[in-house]
């Protein structure tokens, strides 16, 4: 059986690919650069003797080209799950950001993700399967920095709530991880306000172990839960002073 991982060439996506392959699962790995995917494909095939199908695909623009992926899915027959650890932020992201950049951030973090899931829902319904999405603690409460990114991730969270509701009578598990700082290039060099970025391999193992559990949404690491509560209920005169 095969899992699909979008954004598999780096960060959490790569860690998920390594974990799922190490557990003898075939994979369809998707990202924007085929060279990165090819290197990962060879590594996983050499180490774990599983089948890896790399697909070059961009989530920056809509419409997306699904042709190659459709062909591979036809070949592999059925898929056990889709994971979408994909994200893109920009240091210049605030409400006055250039509109093309804004569209790009919305596409990668929300629109293309929803369209992607929408396209393969019917296939997923045929088996016991999982759809796993990834949000961000940036979406807890909107602020100046990362405004488009946070809006997209909040939208994605809402979409996953709806998806879980829609699939509640089916054998498809829908999960959404709201992530704190991870040790990836997205946070490398960023101020992490005292929170140590979490190792992606640890998270990948948790995702694998819990992939069919119907928990809905999870904040990871758990110590972000009180932060979430504080941020949500922080009075506006104080919240508006937050600079991070």
Chain positions contacting another protein, by CB under 8 A? 9-11, 14, 33, 35-36, 39-40, 42-43, 46-47, 184-185, 188-189
- Which strand (E) or helix (H) includes residue 230? helix 224-233
CB of 162 to another protein, least distance (A): 33
Residue with Cβ nearer another protein (188 or 233): 188
- Tell me how far the alpha carbon of residue 160 is from its chain's centroid: 11
Contact (CB, 8 A) for 33 and 9: yes
Residue with Cβ nearer another protein (35 or 125): 35
Contact (CB, 8 A) for 86 and 106: no
What are the residues whose beta carbons fall under 8 Å from the beta carbon of 118, sequence distance 6 or more? none
CB of 118 to another protein, least distance (A): 28
Structure tokens that stand for 22 in this block = 């190490």
Structure tokens that stand for 219 in this block = 């904040």
Residue with Cβ nearer another protein (45 or 158): 45
Sign of CA dihedral 54, 73, 158, 58: positive
CB of 103 to another protein, least distance (A): 22
CB of 235 to another protein, least distance (A): 34
> How far, in Å, CA of 195 to CA of 134, rounded?
19
What are the residues whose beta carbons fall under 8 Å from the beta carbon of 90, sequence distance 6 or more? 97, 101, 105, 148, 149
CB of 76 to another protein, least distance (A): 23
Backbone angles phi, psi at 52, to 5 degrees: -125, 130
Residue with Cβ nearer another protein (9 or 173): 9
CB of 108 to another protein, least distance (A): 15
Residue with Cβ nearer another protein (97 or 121): 97
CB of 136 to another protein, least distance (A): 19
What are the residues whose beta carbons fall under 8 Å from the beta carbon of 128, sequence distance 6 or more? 80, 171, 172, 212
Residue with Cβ nearer another protein (193 or 229): 193
Residue with Cβ nearer another protein (94 or 171): 94
Cα 24 to Cα 5, 161, 208, 220, 234: the distances in Å are: 15, 30, 12, 26, 46
């Amino acid at each position: 059986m095969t899992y699909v991982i979008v954004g598999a060439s780096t960060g959490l996506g790569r860690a998920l690919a390594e974990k799922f392959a190490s557990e003898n699962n075939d994979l369809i790995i998707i990202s924007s650069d085929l060279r990165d995917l090819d290197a990962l494909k060879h590594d996983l095939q050499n180490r774990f003797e599983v089948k890896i199908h790399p697909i070059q695909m961009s989530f920056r623009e809509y419409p997306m080209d699904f042709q190659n992926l459709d062909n591979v899915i036809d070949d592999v027959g059925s898929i056990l799950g889709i994971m979408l650890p994909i994200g893109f932020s920009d240091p210049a992201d605030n409400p006055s950001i250039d509109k093309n950049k804004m569209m790009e951030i919305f596409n990668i973090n929300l629109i293309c993700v929803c369209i992607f899931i929408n396209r393969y829902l019917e296939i997923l319904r045929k088996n016991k399967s999982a759809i796993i999405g990834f949000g961000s603690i940036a979406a807890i409460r909107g602020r100046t920095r990362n405004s488009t990114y946070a809006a997209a991730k909040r939208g994605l969270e809402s979409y996953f709530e709806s998806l879980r509701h829609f699939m509640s009578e089916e054998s498809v598990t829908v999960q959404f991880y709201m992530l704190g700082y991870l040790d990836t290039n997205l946070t490398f060099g960023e101020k992490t306000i005292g929170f140590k970025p979490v190792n992606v391999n640890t998270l990948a193992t948790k995702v694998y172990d819990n992939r069919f559990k119907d928990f809905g949404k999870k904040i990871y690491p758990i110590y972000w839960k009180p932060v979430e509560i504080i941020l949500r209920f922080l009075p506006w005169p104080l919240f508006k002073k937050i600079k991070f």
